[in-house]
């Protein structure tokens, strides 16, 4: 049974690269859609999740996944190779909990679009009426 460490956080805007909604057009449809088949080939199905990340600032903490269910290097677009760690996560918003994955592209291999170390990127099902500035609780396995 997983033990989550619950942290208060605030939803923050990302770059829109993961979802493909940002200004960077190098990744048609977003990085998550492009990475999805590479994760699936290694046993991780991202299809239950919105194809983008929900970014949550959990300052002053700067967590790093400690018990990932996935820790591998993927060559997913041209010559881009990144080490990804995925760890179970839960998010609580307006009294409802959503299960997903903590998506952690390792900073040593991430080519661009760096987040603050206090921001966790989450893969979750679509959550209606969640927006930038929303107070949430994040359950991380740390």
pLDDT digit string, tens, across residues 17-64:
888 787 767 778 889 999 999 999 999 999 999 999 999 999 999 999
Q: What pLDDT score was predicted for residue 2? A: 81
More confident position, 79 or 131: 131
Token couple for 63: 């967590």
Alpha carbons 122 and 85: distance in angstroms, whole number? 12
Residue 100's domain is classified under what CATH number? 2.40.30.30
State the Cα–Cα distance between residues 130 and 29, nearest whole angstrom.
21
Number of H helices, E strands in the chain: 1, 7
Cβ neighbour number for residue 34 with a 10 Å cutoff = 18
In this structure, are residues 53 and 89 in contact, taking their beta carbons and an 8 Å threshold?
A: no
The C-alpha atoms of residue 28 and residue 19 are separated, in whole angstroms, by: 9
Residue 112 has pLDDT above 80, yes or no: no
Domain residue limits at 57: 5-140
Is a pLDDT exceeding 70 seen at residue 114? no
Instruction: Give the separation between CA 30 and CA 67, rounded to whole angstroms.
Output: 27
Give pTM, 2 decimals: 0.92
Checking if the pLDDT of 132 tops 80, the result is yes
Q: How far apart are CA 141 and CA 12, in angstroms?
A: 21
Task: Tell me the pLDDT tens digit for each residue of 56-107.
Answer: 999 999 999 988 999 999 999 888 899 999 999 999 999 999 999 999 999 8
* Contact call for residues 9 and 58 (beta carbons, < 8 A): yes
Instruction: Count how many domains the chain has.
Output: 1
The pLDDT value given to residue 113: 63
Q: Are 33 and 119 in contact (CB under 8 A)?
A: no
Q: Is the peptide bond before 60 cis (omega within 30 degrees of 0)?
A: yes
Q: Are strands 70-77 and 80-93 parallel, antiparallel or unpaired?
A: antiparallel
């Amino acid at each position: 049974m997983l033990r989550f460490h619950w942290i208060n956080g605030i939803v923050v805007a990302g770059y829109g690269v993961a979802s493909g909604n940002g200004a960077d057009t190098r990744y048609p449809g977003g990085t998550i859609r492009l990475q999805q088949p590479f994760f699936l080939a290694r046993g991780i199905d991202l299809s239950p999740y919105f194809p983008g990340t929900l970014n949550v600032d959990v300052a002053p903490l700067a967590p790093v996944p400690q018990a990932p269910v996935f820790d591998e290097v993927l060559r997913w677009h041209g010559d881009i190779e990144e080490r990804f760690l995925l760890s179970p996560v839960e998010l609580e918003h307006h009294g409802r909990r959503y299960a997903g994955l903590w998506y952690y592209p390792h900073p040593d291999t991430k080519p661009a679009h760096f987040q603050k170390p206090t921001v966790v990127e989450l893969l979750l099902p679509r959550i209606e009426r969640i927006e930038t500035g929303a107070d949430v609780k994040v359950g991380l396995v740390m």
